[in-house]
Amino acid sequence: MATTRKRPRVAANMPLVPPAELATISKGTWSPNITDSSGNSFDGVSVTTGAWERTGNEVTLFIRVGWTGKTSVVGGDVMRIADLPFKNSSKERSVGGGNFEYTGLGAWPANTAQIIPEILQANDYIKFFYLTTTGSSTSLFCSQVATSGQFRGTYKYTTEDP
């Protein structure tokens, strides 16, 4: 003998997720800094706008940062967007969680197919690497960036910060 269950009725104004499981949404602003991997800031930062939105442990950044000089940075260092409002999770790196537009990427390596942002475990900066059409990848160095340029876009990652 088969048994059937009646589905419980849900009132039109009841949330589909129990209130204890709803994450709090918070928003704020921050000042991104464009640096080399030694922590030296690019010269003549022309624009620096940052906003963030956090739902639970998921953070979405809205970034716009530009520069008009790079005499203070080390050419062989990796370019970074530093001083993120929350550190990345210590459990995993975050690769390609962003969508960026950029100007000022001057001396591109041959066969560059795509520039990809990433945040390593427990870090508070975004670094960039590029993929080539042959499938290899390497970091984006300050020497490969023009004297002036701009990055703008969004990036999503997970944090363990309170």
Amino acid at 25: I
Residues 64-77 have pLDDT tens digits of 999 999 999 999 99
Is residue 19 assigned to a domain? no
Is residue 16 assigned to a domain? no
Residues 34-68 have pLDDT tens digits of 999 999 999 888 888 999 999 989 999 999 999 99
Q: Which two tokens stand for residue 127?
A: 């670094």
Q: Based on the structure, what is the number of domains in the chain? A: 1
CB-based contact 56:23 (threshold 8 Å): yes
> Across the chain, what does the average pLDDT equal?
83
Domain of residue 68: give its range: 24-158
Is residue 14 assigned to a domain? no
Q: Tell me the average pLDDT across 118-142.
A: 88
Using alpha carbons, select from 99, 111, 103, 101 the residue that is nearest to residue 138.
111
Check whether 30 has a pLDDT greater than 80: yes
Check whether 156 has a pLDDT greater than 50: yes
Is residue 15 assigned to a domain? no
Is residue 7 assigned to a domain? no
Is residue 13 assigned to a domain? no
Is residue 143 assigned to a domain? yes
Which own/partner pairs from 135-138 qualify as long-range (CB within 8 Å, at least 24 positions apart)?
Answer: 138/109
Is residue 141 assigned to a domain? yes
